[in-house]
Amino acid sequence: MSAKKDAIVNIGGFIAFRDPTLKQKIAQNLIVHEGFLTYGGLAGRDLEAIAVGLHEAIDEDYLNYREAHTRYLGKVLLEAGLPVYMPTGGHAVYVDGGKALPHIPQSQFPAVALANALYLAGGVRTTEIGSLMFEHVDTQTGEHVYAPLELLRFAIPRRVYTRSHLDYIAEAAAECMKDANSIRGLRVKWAPPVLRHFMAQLEEI
């Protein structure tokens, strides 16, 4: 679990096990990469913050606020012209980048292109969950297999943004969609062999 999502902390996470044998295998690997098991990989204050955050995050009033906040972002993005997946969830709004920019083929990463346009228009930072992340080569045919959907994730930090911030995001989105056909596709200039979406360098086509 990434505790940065809904345990209301700025860093950290944990892995939970039912299988003691698997836990032992992971623990040995942890020592090599992070430190001994009891270190937790985090400062004590961060571990304590996770413990408090997990309790606070299941409060019904907080959850109602969180879901309504996310639903509002989905509504204003839809009004701005983005194809939003409905209903929205609890921590993020997902937009179909392929539908938003139908002139950009999957091989040119339409969701990444939309993410770049949003950042340039208003400093809005999003994450692609599409073919940059999941494209692979079929070992049998040698063909490129693209992601089933070119999604753009608008994850919302907890207890940070007001509705006016969300309105600003929608304004940036509307600005992008006014001239959507001018947004260009991308090609990979360089990428590591694994987890390329974290470090890849791309350029406009």
Give 74-121 pLDDT, tens digit per residue: 999 999 999 999 999 888 999 999 999 999 999 999 999 999 999 999
pLDDT at 202: 97
pLDDT value of residue 104: 98
Confidence at residue 34, expressed as pLDDT on a 0 to 100 scale: 76
What residues form DSSP beta bridges with 151?
A: 96, 129
**pLDDT of amino acid 177:** 97
Same domain, 52 and 66: no
Residue 106 and residue 41 share a domain: no
Q: Cα–Cα–Cα angle for 146, 151, 153, nearest 5°?
A: 140
CA distances from 157 to 44, 139, 160, 190 (A): 23, 39, 6, 30
Domain boundary among 56, 75, 98: 56
User: Do 175 and 128 share a structural domain?
Assistant: yes
Provide the number of structural domains found in the chain.
2
Whether the CB-CB separation of 114 and 163 falls below 8 Å is answered with: no
| Residue 190, token pair as written in the block | 């360089």
Amino acid at 7: A
Are the beta carbons of 110 and 95 closer than 8 angstroms? no
Shared-domain flag, residues 40 and 80? no
Q: Residue 189: enclosing H or E segment and its boundaries? A: strand 186-190
Identify the segments of the chain with pLDDT beneath 50: none
pLDDT of res. 5: 79
Domain with 145, as residue range(s), is 60-204
Q: What confidence score (pLDDT) does residue 100 get?
A: 98
Residues 72 and 21 in one domain: no
